[in-house]
Amino acid sequence: MLLTIDVGNTNITMGIFKDEEIIAHFRLATVHERSMDEYGVLFVNFLLHRGIAVADIGGVIIASVVPEVMYSLERAVRNYIGKTPHVVKRHMVDMEVKIDNPAELGADRLINAYAAKFIYGAPLIIVDFGTATTFCTISAKGEYLGGAICPGIKISLDALFSKTSKLPRVEIRRPEKVIGTNTVGSMQSGILYGYVGQVNFIVEKIKEEMGERDVKVIATGGLSNLINAETDIFHAVDKLLTLKGLKKLYDEKFKN
């Protein structure tokens, strides 16, 4: 079995693959202060809760955009899982990156592009609803062209709560109507439909610049289903896209 780990700014997502099937996945908060032992116990408990023995794990691969947690995380994998993890680096991924400085490209965006190209074919636009909302563009030739980065939905709600004196912290959900008749409903409407409009507009502008109308648009990330319910712009919603990309990379580069 393969343990895949996607380390994001808000959450660490783990997935277990048995052959080609993902049989379990799990998410925990990204906490910079968490120790090696804390990560190790969480990993082992995750496996045991799903009936998986630590000895069944044959390999581990990690993509991370949070360097601060990697020392404890890698040591936890070595000491509690008994494997040396493969950590994704730019040179491992067979994809031409056309941005000004390829070293700036986050491992998650690179792996998403790599996975989506393989699963869905190019040209592509990948919209990832994570801590930030990112747009990644893949040409018909399979090149990574660049994209756009916006504040994520949760960041925007947190900003409304923390930077205003009377607006409350609210749940991210679809309101009963667009015209809110109370503060909570108005905030939910503004956030949800504001992001739907943002996504639709940016995707259309990207298509114009690409000169491609038959571009597949793939949504991923924790809030992708919420946005997808309000637009028909997405070809597919694939919330485990990064984990699938890690599995493919491991099979190509590291599997014996």
- Mapped onto helix, strand or coil, the DSSP state of residue 26 is strand
How far is 168 from 207, CA to CA, in rounded Å? 37
Angle formed by the axes of helices 241-253 and 107-120, nearest 10°: 80
Q: Are strands 132-138 and 236-237 parallel, antiparallel or unpaired?
A: unpaired
List helix spans (H) across the chain. 36-49, 70-76, 107-120, 153-163, 183-210, 224-228, 241-253
CB crowding 120-152: b at 16 or more within 10 Å, else e: bebbbbbbbbbbbbbbbbbbeebbbbebbebeb
- Report yes or no: 246 and 4 within 8 Å, Cβ to Cβ: yes
* Given 108, 158, 232, 251, the catalytic residue: 108
> Is 108 an annotated catalytic residue?
yes
> Which residues are catalytically annotated?
108
